[in-house]
Structure 1
Amino acid sequence: MRAVVYDGEGVTLGTAPQPVPGDGQALVDVRAVSLNFTDVAHLDPATPPGTVLGLDAAGVVRQAAADGSGPEAGARVVTFGWGRGAWAETRAADTRHLAVLPEGVGFAEAAALPAAGVTALRALRQLGPVAGRRVLVTGASGGVGRFAVQLAALAGAYVVAAVGSPERGAGLRTLGAREVVTGLADVSAPFHGVLENVGGPLLGEAFALLEPGGSLQSIGAASGRPSTLDLEAARRAGGARRLEVFAVGTPDAPFGPDLAHLAALVAEGRLDPQIGWRGPWERVREAAGALRERRVAGKAVLEVTAAG
């Protein structure tokens, strides 16, 4: 079968063996996949060439799981996998980490949901109730950031979206941000919660803006730079504040229910997957380059096309 694989240097469209499903896995004919920044920017050079890459895919169940779990053949589904193997014509998908798609949700939109959407959803939950409270989202123009802005706004938060340039902030007010800022130098009002995607100096600046009892979820470090915290200044300000290194979960924590929730929001028109780059998977290198170079606002999605 055709698949996007690691070629020793980066990503390429090649071939791979057909997957063999385990008892709790369905065979899914993949129609669309999405790329995450970590998929293409942090490839481990020790990865064996020929490895099928990717976490997120949507398609149609060809063969139901042997143990009876999950949907029947013919169901339209969105899938996530903790290992790899998503970017292929056929995927063996753990039924705990998939959800049936509602009518009206396309494969491309569904494929954008798993890693970025579930990360934003679960990180937001870590802040506790946010209705009427100020929430800061850094790196708000990226895949996780755009989901976080929308989900926080849906939960009733006053959302401030921080981006790297004015151009990167385009469309964020439409998604629910009450303010869009470039950097935090002019922000003084405190926040109940921070969803922090950038790392580096920005993490320390955002932590300093937490109100007593507030929480910062460190989701990622897209800047690639180390962070420094002025804890003495935080002590002088008074009140406890939490900084947590966020992890989306473990292989034992099913993605299925959260994927079903996000897909339902898309079907209801309340959540936009924000696909900023879309094309056939023959253009995977182009998509990966655009993502690495921060030229994608939101998600990059590849549509799986038949050979020939």
Structure 2
Amino acid sequence: MRALLVDRSAPGGLRLGEAPVPEPAPHQALIRVRATSLNHGEVRWGIEGAPEGAVLGWDAAGVVERAAADGSGPAAGTRVVTLAGDGGWAEYRVADTDWIGVVPEGADLGAISTVPVAGASALRALDRIGPILGRRVLVTGATGGVGRYAVQLARRGGAHVIAVTGDPEGRGEMLRALGAHEVIAEPEAAGAPVDGVVDVIGGRQLVAAYQQLGERGTLVSVGQAGGDPEHFPLKALYGEQGRHDRSIVNFQLLGCSGLSRDLTWLAEQVAAGTLDPGTSWRGPWDRAPEAIETLLTRRLQGKAILDIA
């Protein structure tokens, strides 16, 4: 099969080449991939750390070529969206049936391929915060893949949504159209305390966002797109009056159970147009180096999609 292989001598660290078709375990299905979406973490750190010739890729949408031998999951011929730790940048990938969602007929598989990491991470982060109806929720990195989904899902959950972006003037209109009530440049500008934070930036922004949490507030750390470490000032974690019982939590998406239901629901919302995946770049997979450069140089706001020939 054709696949994007790690080759750090090639532009973007990838080249199109040949790889064996993966053999699924009994609880896995073999998927013929039609589209994949790129995530910041896999292109920034995944390519650098992977062995030469590896096939990476977390997100992929396509059609079940061979159903799981144990009888779980969708039947052959079903349109699906999938998550796995690798293998999405190829003509075929295997995925655990618990990480496979069913896609409505007629849906754009390219748009649906943005769902697994970005959409499911946002959904699980908001679930970890708890009931958000009438609560103030702050989202850092709001114009990125996870951030866009988090803004929309928080608004649908009844939260007062505060979106953080480095360019509130240029991107404010777009974020308000997605559901943000406020668009600010820094977490410190949130004003009143917030009840929850979805943080995808890490570093200084995570520390600043944590300082905005009110009593019993929760910050969910989803990513570290900023690349800088967290340094908390003295007494930042001390439970003074009005600031006690605050939490910083995280999760590993591939460690979550029940993702099939999440992926199916998110795919339905994208297909119906009630969630906007924010596609900012789309092209054939032989242009992957161009997409990666755009993503890493911060010229991309939203998701990059590769169509698999």
TM-score (norm 1): 0.93
Alpha-carbon distance change, 107 to 44 in structure 1, aligned in 2, over 3 angstroms: closer
1:172 pairs with 154, 172, 175, which one? 175
**1:10-29 alignment to 2 at 5 Å?**
10-29=13-32
Corresponding position of 1:100:
102
1:12: how far off? Answer: 2.5
1:69: how far off? Answer: 1.5
Corresponding position of 1:4:
4
1:8: how far off? Answer: 3.3
1:269 pairs with 269, 273, 278, which one? 273
1:46: how far off? Answer: 4.8
Once residues 226 and 115 of structure 2 are traced to their aligned partners in structure 1, the CA distance between those partners, rounded to angstroms, is 23
1:226: how far off? Answer: 1.4
Is 1:56 aligned to residue 59 of structure 2? yes
Q: RMSD value over aligned CA atoms? A: 1.7
Corresponding position of 1:129:
131
TM-score (norm 2): 0.93
Q: Deviations over 1:9-47 (max 9, x none)?
A: 522222211111111221111100011001100126452
Is 1:74 aligned to residue 69 of structure 2? no
Q: Deviations over 1:145-193 (max 9, x none)?
A: 0010011000000000001123354511111001111123433211010
Q: Deviations over 1:112-154 (max 9, x none)?
A: 0001111110000011111111100001011110010011000
Once residues 211 and 255 of structure 1 are traced to their aligned partners in structure 2, the CA distance between those partners, rounded to angstroms, is 30
Once residues 170 and 288 of structure 1 are traced to their aligned partners in structure 2, the CA distance between those partners, rounded to angstroms, is 26
Corresponding position of 2:212:
209
Comparing 139-148 and 44-53, the one that deviates more: 44-53
Would the aligned equivalents of 1:193 and 1:216 in 2 still touch at CA under 8 Å? Answer: yes
Q: Unaligned stretches of 5+ in structure 1?
A: none
Once residues 144 and 104 of structure 2 are traced to their aligned partners in structure 1, the CA distance between those partners, rounded to angstroms, is 25
Would the aligned equivalents of 2:6 and 2:47 in 1 still touch at CA under 8 Å? Answer: no
Q: Which amino acid aligns with 1:271?
A: L
Once residues 282 and 225 of structure 1 are traced to their aligned partners in structure 2, the CA distance between those partners, rounded to angstroms, is 32
SS in 1 for 2:235: helix
Alpha-carbon distance change, 182 to 239 in structure 1, aligned in 2, over 3 angstroms: closer
Alpha-carbon distance change, 45 to 274 in structure 1, aligned in 2, over 3 angstroms: closer
1:105: how far off? Answer: 2.1
Q: Deviations over 1:195-236 (max 9, x none)?
A: 111112211211111111111111112111111223525534
1:66: how far off? Answer: 1.5
Runs of 4+ in 1 over 4 A off after TM superposition: none
Number of aligned residues: 304
**1:1-308 alignment to 2 at 5 Å?**
1-8=1-8, 10-43=13-46, 45-81=48-84, 83-166=85-168, 167-230=170-233, 232=235, 235-251=239-255, 253-305=257-309
SS in 1 for 2:183: strand
The percent identity for this pair of structures is: 49
Comparing 67-76 and 138-147, the one that deviates more: 67-76
Once residues 147 and 105 of structure 1 are traced to their aligned partners in structure 2, the CA distance between those partners, rounded to angstroms, is 18
Once residues 235 and 242 of structure 1 are traced to their aligned partners in structure 2, the CA distance between those partners, rounded to angstroms, is 8
Once residues 277 and 261 of structure 1 are traced to their aligned partners in structure 2, the CA distance between those partners, rounded to angstroms, is 24
Once residues 128 and 231 of structure 1 are traced to their aligned partners in structure 2, the CA distance between those partners, rounded to angstroms, is 28
Once residues 171 and 39 of structure 2 are traced to their aligned partners in structure 1, the CA distance between those partners, rounded to angstroms, is 17
Once residues 187 and 62 of structure 2 are traced to their aligned partners in structure 1, the CA distance between those partners, rounded to angstroms, is 41
Would the aligned equivalents of 2:188 and 2:212 in 1 still touch at CA under 8 Å? Answer: no
SS in 2 for 1:108: helix
Q: Which amino acid aligns with 1:304?
A: I
**Structure holding more helix per residue:** 2
Q: Which amino acid aligns with 2:275?
A: L
Once residues 42 and 49 of structure 2 are traced to their aligned partners in structure 1, the CA distance between those partners, rounded to angstroms, is 14
Q: Which amino acid aligns with 2:267?
A: A
SS in 2 for 1:43: helix
Once residues 125 and 31 of structure 1 are traced to their aligned partners in structure 2, the CA distance between those partners, rounded to angstroms, is 30
1:287: how far off? Answer: 0.6
Once residues 40 and 165 of structure 2 are traced to their aligned partners in structure 1, the CA distance between those partners, rounded to angstroms, is 16
